[in-house]
Amino acid sequence: MDVQSIKQRFGIIGNSPLLNRAIDVAVQVAPTDLTVLITGESGTGKEVFPKIIHQMSARKHGNYIAVNCGAIPEGTIDSELFGHEKGSFTGAHEARKGYFEVADGGTIFLDEIAELPISTQVRLLRVLESGEFMKVGSSKVIKTDVRVVAATNVNLPEAIEKGEFRQDLYYRLNTVPILIPPLRDRKDDIHLLFRKFSADFAEKYRMPPLQLTEDAVKILRNYYWRGNVRQLKNITEQISIIERKKDIDALILKRYLPDEGRNDLPVLYRKKEEEHISERELLYKVLFDMKKDMNELKKVVDNMLEKGGVKPSEQTKALLVNDYPDKDFYPRHEKVHDVEITNPEDDDFDTYDPSEIIEESLSLQEKEKEMIKKALEKHNGKRKDAARELGISERTLYRKIKEYNIK
């Protein structure tokens, strides 16, 4: 049976080479008993391919069982798959056959295989390798002849690295891989699918089918379709039932398409991250201002002492040592928004031995206090003008007034 006949039989819409390749692989592997791993994003239609494999195989007269591994609670998944004996756990009032026993001679489709607990993965590996399993609460080995087809939308190699999926099970399942392409890689199929869903919905509810304008078709083709075929069908049905006008243009279509440019991070996470960044930036701004103020104050004191005939170097050093916060408070060479923060120990900052300047520090403080008083008196207590006169910021002046208890 050729690919086109398979499409008609199983209701597959599209002519994408990637889709055709996936169908061709499914047809080729069907007559064998090899395990198959189907991968693809959510909503791409992975559930159709196990049916193709089963119906095109010698097992087509046997049972076909589809199991959603993510929908079964972890505590009961072993019982569902392998069965249990009476009294094996609370509520086990009678013995029960599992899916692997019921599907003997047929095919079992394990959807969302990545959701299986590690302990269940070990049991599944044994079935795949030897065809043997034991019911929960039993020591009797049961043989089964089951063809396993698995599917997942999870990146299994990444799950293996995180310790969430067994590597040996992955290689056992991945004997024949089939990749289902996302809808955005099947652009020529998007409008075909839209028309099919629209026609089916119109026939079911006895209404005219939707018609897209050329600009609407362009938007439909270029949209990202995170939810793939499932999302396209959902939007088609929404428009069909809500819009009275059946000729759909780009403006109408856009109202039903979620914004692709939105940030997918949770709101709470974004808020927390923004608050963290703003606090850090505020801290660095304070550090920058302090560094700037100290450089300004150093220049002012040097100039004043030179005018008074005093060597400024050691006294200025004393001021810097007394006035700077603990140097360990500064990060060493860290970049924030391309701005480099440097430890005051580095670059143009010198390291001084405090023992050399203890004697001069007191006299320097007295001179600084006297200068501040004179500046305040000159400007009638106006701190802004006094700070400008001294060549320092108003905040630094306020801190010095408080430090020296200047009235």
Q: In this predicted structure, what is the pLDDT of residue 368?
A: 80
Distance CA 354, CA 324 (A): 13
Q: In this predicted structure, what is the pLDDT of residue 341?
A: 42
Q: Is the same domain home to 60 and 207?
A: no
Distance CA 372, CA 253 (A): 70
Is residue 337 assigned to a domain? Answer: yes
Is residue 29 assigned to a domain? Answer: yes
The total of other beta-carbon atoms located within 10 Å of residue 357's CB is: 20
Q: In this predicted structure, what is the pLDDT of residue 407?
A: 73
Q: What is the mean pLDDT of the chain?
A: 83
Domain, as residue range, for 246? 184-254
Is residue 259 assigned to a domain? Answer: no
Binned at pLDDT 50, 70 and 90, residue 195 comes out as: very high
% of the chain surpassing 70 pLDDT = 78
Average pLDDT for 370-383: 85
Q: Is the same domain home to 122 and 245?
A: no
CATH number at residue 52: 3.40.50.300
Look at 237 and 286; give whichever has higher pLDDT.
Answer: 237
Evaluate whether 33 touches 144 at the Cβ level (below 8 Å). Answer: no
Q: 249-298 pLDDT, tens per residue?
A: 999 999 999 986 544 444 434 433 444 444 555 565 667 677 777 777 77
Domain boundary among 227, 254, 281: 254
Q: Is the same domain home to 227 and 118?
A: no
Is residue 260 assigned to a domain? Answer: no
Look at 21 and 343; give whichever has higher pLDDT.
Answer: 21
Average pLDDT for 139-150: 96
CATH number at residue 212: 1.10.8.60
> Which residues, in sequence order, are CB contacts of 405 under 8 Å at separation 6+?
none
Number of domains in the chain: 3
Q: In this predicted structure, what is the pLDDT of residue 279?
A: 52
Q: Is the same domain home to 165 and 188?
A: no
Q: Is the same domain home to 196 and 119?
A: no
Q: Is the same domain home to 285 and 381?
A: yes
Q: 88-141 pLDDT, tens per residue?
A: 888 888 999 999 999 999 999 999 999 999 999 999 999 999 999 999 999 999
Least confident of 226-235, 254-263, 314-323, 396-405: 314-323
Q: Is the same domain home to 169 and 316?
A: no
Is residue 330 assigned to a domain? Answer: yes
Work out whether strand 64-68 and strand 141-143 pair parallel, antiparallel, or are unpaired.
Answer: unpaired
Q: Is the same domain home to 11 and 143?
A: yes
Is residue 294 assigned to a domain? Answer: yes
CA distance from start to end of the chain: 100
Least confident of 73-82, 235-244, 332-341: 332-341
Domain boundary among 161, 181, 201: 181
% of the chain surpassing 90 pLDDT = 60
Q: Is the same domain home to 102 and 161?
A: yes
Least confident of 34-43, 75-84, 166-175, 267-276: 267-276
Q: Is the same domain home to 127 and 245?
A: no
Q: Is the same domain home to 151 and 221?
A: no
Q: In this predicted structure, what is the pLDDT of residue 280?
A: 53
Least confident of 33-47, 54-68, 176-190, 345-359: 345-359
Q: 197-236 pLDDT, tens per residue?
A: 999 999 999 999 999 999 999 999 999 999 999 999 999 9
Q: In this predicted structure, what is the pLDDT of residue 2?
A: 87
Is residue 150 assigned to a domain? Answer: yes
Instruction: Kindly provide the residue ranges of all beta strands, DSSP E only, lying in 153-276, ordered along the sequence.
Output: 176-179, 211-212, 247-248
Domain boundary among 121, 150, 181: 181
Q: In this predicted structure, what is the pLDDT of residue 19?
A: 96
Q: Is the same domain home to 240 and 334?
A: no
The total of other beta-carbon atoms located within 10 Å of residue 45's CB is: 20
Average pLDDT for 365-384: 83
Q: Sign of dihedral through CA atoms 382, 386, 389, 392?
A: negative
Is residue 114 assigned to a domain? Answer: yes
pTM of the prediction? Answer: 0.64
11: its two tokens: 């209701």
Residue 287 burial (10 A CB sphere; 0-12, 13-18, 19+): middle
Binned at pLDDT 50, 70 and 90, residue 75 comes out as: confident
